[in-house]
Amino acid sequence: MNKEIKLVALDLDRTTLNSQNRISDANRQALISAINNGVHVCIASGRAFDTLPYDILDIPGIEYAITSNGAAIYRIKGKECLHSFLLTEDSVHTILNLTQDYPVTYEAFIKGQAFASTEYIRYPEKYGATIHSLEYVKKTRILKDDIVSFIKEHASELDSMDIVVNDQKLKNDIIEQIQLATSDVYMTSSISQLLEISYKDAGKKSGVQFLTEYLGLTKDNVAAFGDADNDTDMIEYAGVGIAMENATSHLKEIADYVTLHHDKDGVAYAFHNILNIC
């Protein structure tokens, strides 16, 4: 067993979960074995707390969840929030003023709950939603007829928000406009149609660093797994950063190791053959 690794931070979608949004038996057994060997295994996801899959929460010994790209860190038992960041009201209103006339829609995340527009469900093709992502939204979001008004009413309570946009050029333009208008936000993206926005001090690295210090560890004791741009900072931070075979080219370039595809039990393979923790 690798005695240096004491904390493993796991992205969920397209990393720990397969294409059916489930955890394979091999991955599940690897996590349980590592936990039984004294390793802390934590979730590190862009998802809000209430949208975390039961498949993962049901695994005995997973104590912590970094959610909404590091905006909120929870002890899973009792949904106890250990640390959080909120978007500033000014930045929320600035973002809406800049973008609400564009062909976009929004998602909002408050105290672990996820909200989206009913229009997103009615016209998914307008926003680039695949059948897979549409089903996920239906299952995990509380729908609002007027998402913009809802966000304005709750501007002081947002852990994070997403802009859903089906145009890469427009997405890039929006990023530039927001960067010029406010320095209070952290922006990232896990999938092409999402621009994920949280407070400037958030990010998965921030969440992993908080847990590292909370548990009395150092970054040399940390391994992190991911597949997308929103995993970049924690992969760079971790003593051992591991990208999936299906990860973005950039993430694979900066990672210490590349493991197998998320549909080929890549997490279990790395636990056994790279980290030697189970």
Judged on CB neighbours under 10 Å (0-12, 13-18, 19+), 12 is buried
The distance in angstroms from the start CA to the end CA of the chain is: 7
Domains in the chain, number: 2
Residue 137 — very low, low, confident or very high, per pLDDT cuts 50/70/90?
Answer: confident
* pTM value > 0.85: yes
Measured at the alpha carbon of residue 210, what is the angle toward residues 80 and 6, in degrees to the nearest 5?
Answer: 100
Mean pLDDT of 191-199: 94
Residues 151 and 14 grouped into a single domain: no
Residues 121 and 171 grouped into a single domain: yes
Which of residues 199, 224, 248 is at a domain's end?
Answer: 199
pLDDT at position 126: 83
In a domain, 278, yes or no: no
Provide the percentage of residues in the chain whose pLDDT is more than 90. 91
Instruction: Residue 129: give its domain's CATH number.
Output: 3.30.1240.10
Mean pLDDT of 241-255: 97
Residues 172 and 250 grouped into a single domain: no
Q: By mean pLDDT, which of 1-10, 124-133, 174-183, 264-273 is the weakest?
A: 124-133
Residues 177 and 97 grouped into a single domain: yes
Mean pLDDT of 185-199: 94
In a domain, 2, yes or no: no
- Which residues fall within 8 angstroms of residue 144, CB to CB, at 6 or more apart? 115, 116, 117, 118, 150
In a domain, 16, yes or no: yes
Residues 133 and 187 grouped into a single domain: yes
pLDDT at position 1: 60
- Give the Cα separation of 269 and 69 in Å (integer): 25
Residues 104 and 152 grouped into a single domain: yes
Phi, psi of 239, rounded to the nearest 5 degrees: -60, -35
In a domain, 1, yes or no: no
Domain that holds residue 239: 7-84+203-273
In a domain, 155, yes or no: yes
Residue 263 has pLDDT above 80, yes or no: yes
Residue 267 has pLDDT above 70, yes or no: yes
Residues 125 and 195 grouped into a single domain: yes
